[in-house]
A and B are shown apart, each in its own frame.
Chain A
């Protein structure tokens, strides 16, 4: 089945230790998104790629970086995680040609910072 896959599902890191979260998709969608979601809150968009074009949200801290080496894969790098970065990180995809279909979300990676 076509889907959005995130690895790992759970990630534990230490304060200040860089961490990378990965996302892959078999949907061949042009757009990939990274969201941060804290408990019982709505997802907060960090950035998105339209093909290779990177679009950063104005309030996304510099501590968060992203890479998209090809259509299928997208990575979220947190250079120096702080306690406040503990959250669920969601990857999503969409295709502009599929209006009304919405975004397809992965199951998320729950990040714990010790």
Chain B
């Protein structure tokens, strides 16, 4: 069974702080995606990483795919209240996604 564990599960920080969310698995994935979900809405894709060791930047968000394609991290610099939400990593597995356990981020002004 393919599992993706995220840590931390919950994170409450002040505006301006930096944070890192981790997504780990014992399985290899062909690609890994990160989604953000706001309350009452569906998840929205932030990024897809495909190559081992790949780093992608999206404004203040930096995504990294592990060399072995089993893990990933999301780093947010200078967090803002608008970053609040549920962050989900998801691994590609033959027409479906294996979702991580989720990290709920709360950024206070």
Whether A48 contacts B40 in the complex (CB less than 8 A), given A42-B88, A103-B45, comes out as: no
Interface stretch among B11-19, B66-74, B91-99? B91-99
Chain B positions within 8 Å of A100 at CB level: 31, 48, 50
Q: Which chain A residues in 34-68 approach chain B with CB under 8 Å?
A: 40-45, 48, 50, 55
Find the residue from B35, B41, B86, B96 having the highest chain A CB count within 10 A: B96
CB atoms of B95 and A102 under 8 A apart: no
Total cross-chain contacts (CB, 8 A): 54
Partner of A107 from the list B31, B40, B97, B101 (CB cut-off 8 Å) is B40
How many residues from A make CB contacts under 8 Å with B? 27
Residues of chain B within 8 A of A108, CB atoms compared: 40-42
Nearest residue (CB) in B for A100 is B48
Distance A4 CA – B102 CA, assembled complex (angstroms): 23
Smallest CB separation, B84 vs chain A (Å): 13
Q: Select which of B41, B45, B101, B104 is within 8 A of A102 by beta carbon.
A: B45
User: In the complex, which residues 90-105 of chain A have their Cβ closer than 8 Å to any Cβ of chain B?
Assistant: 90, 92, 94, 96, 99-105
